Amino acid sequence: MNHFWGVDADPTAQGRIKGAQPVAVLDIGSNSVRLVVYERHARALTPLYNEKSACALGRGVGQTGRLADANVAQALNAIKRFALVARMMRVGKVYVLATSAVRDAANRDEFVSAVEALMDNPVQVLSGEEEAHYAALGAVAGMPDFAGVVGDLGGGSLELSTISEGKDTGGQSHQLGVIRLQDDSNGSPSKAASIVRHRLEKSGLGKATKGLSFVAVGGTWRSLAKLHQIVSDYPLHMVQNYVVDADEMIEFCHKIISAGSLKGYDGAEHVSSSRRELVPFGAAVMQELLKAGHFANVVFSALGVREGYLYGKLDPDEQQIDPLIQGAEELSVLRSRSPAHADDLVEFTAQFLAAAGISETAEQTRLRTVACLLADIGWRAHPDYRGPQSVDAVAYGSLTGVDHAGRAFLAQIIALRYDGLKSKAANALAGLMKEDMGPRARLIGALFRVAYPMTAAMPGILPRIMFEAEDSRLTLVLPTDLEFLDGEHLRGRLEQFGNVAGFKSTEVRIG
């Protein structure tokens, strides 16, 4: 078949970042073996491909001390496919990491040799302390300002560490993985909770400062978070940065433990079959951890050891890059008509705020900048659906470094920018915003609607246009050679914006 694009030399698409070299992590865990290919090794990681195989390598290791032959065969078969995927996607570097089940097994060397032969890459078997370290870095990668305790729950072990100012300390590993607990408790979540309570006595959690936040990492805890979102009718089904009060989560976990399984549990059908029987044991660990540490809340992280490992390989300057800004810049480059126009929009909105005497916090400036970068990503969609599709891309996309309130704020701005001030595209998320965020989102969205009719999303126009605010009048000043921009459409948008901004009258002045 003949196409207008060529694929013989390079299978990648124009929708990918130009010159980006994919990087991959093969994560050999106690419950699953997973390959994640990222578009490039950067501060903001964008998954290009993500596949797992539930091999349960940790099953029985606590009793026999060995990886079971059947589970090893299943894992190696999956890894053969992952090796092919890495070759087809022309991955530049594959990092192979193995965790609790492999490090604890007497036959680890034989398994590791087989994996290395298939992947043509060395396998790094992480110690418990290293696993805790990279899980902590994964939390930092997605939540740069987080401070508190990080827990990474796998199939074979639980790793704990403390984060302060972007650094982690006190890495610990405990034999509290969900598969190990299921085995040790003979399948009883209640008995598992007792085991957790006993094994955590040496963790020192009871001596930690009360009222800290706890970050939960790991697939079983992600399933627990999804289940909580469903039963609590939470509007954003996204685990990253999902925050729950500790007492509420303890009560939720207690109900699951008491039930003994998720059979017949409301929302259980939304939990993957490979995780369903493990969630009650994850609930047992969560309940006892939150009690022992006297935490204020639990924050769930979708980023863990894989992302933390790659974050740790960045140089210090790259680690300081804002992942939200970088991710938004990438979307702007890939999906907007002119990325340079976003820079103009940042200056244009800042100039209005200064003229109107409206102050911003550092976080408000950051989110406004991101909104400008994302403001034109929906232009290819049908006009009737640009708002909803853009909201989906912003609210439900893979951006990191932003909490749920921030996602709702950005989604509201983009909805208003495309659909007008009566837009309902982001209403479902409006309740996630803090009290002062709604009016500010409305202000910025209305300001975008003034900018775009003058520029057609092209750069060079907005830096020449100024706002003046005096008493209750807002004036838009056009240079003489752009006088023709003054028309009924622009004046209508300006009047609408003036009403949102609290001005009694608006005008356009030339000169």
Say what the pLDDT of residue 5 is.
45
Say what the pLDDT of residue 265 is.
77
Q: For the domain covering 23-125, report its CATH number.
A: 3.30.420.40
Say what the pLDDT of residue 1 is.
47
Q: What residues contact residue 216 under an 8 Å CB cut-off, 6+ apart?
A: 151, 153, 224, 225, 286, 298, 299, 300, 301
- Please list the residue range(s) of the chain that carry CATH number 1.10.3210.10: 323-510
- Please list the residue range(s) of the chain that carry CATH number 3.30.420.40: 23-125
Low-confidence ranges of the chain (pLDDT < 70): 1-13
Say what the pLDDT of residue 11 is.
52
Query: Cα separation of 259 and 501, whole Å?
Result: 53
- Please list the residue range(s) of the chain that carry CATH number 3.30.420.150: 129-309
Beta bridge partners of 37: 24, 49
Q: β-strands 297-301, 242-245: how paired?
A: antiparallel
Query: Cα separation of 79 and 82, whole Å?
Result: 5
Place of tokens 């078997």: 125
The fourth-level CATH superfamily of domain 323-510 is Hypothetical protein af1432 (1.10.3210.10)
Say what the pLDDT of residue 10 is.
55
Does the predicted TM-score (pTM) go above 0.95?
no
The fold of the 129-309 domain, in CATH, is Nucleotidyltransferase; domain 5 (3.30.420)
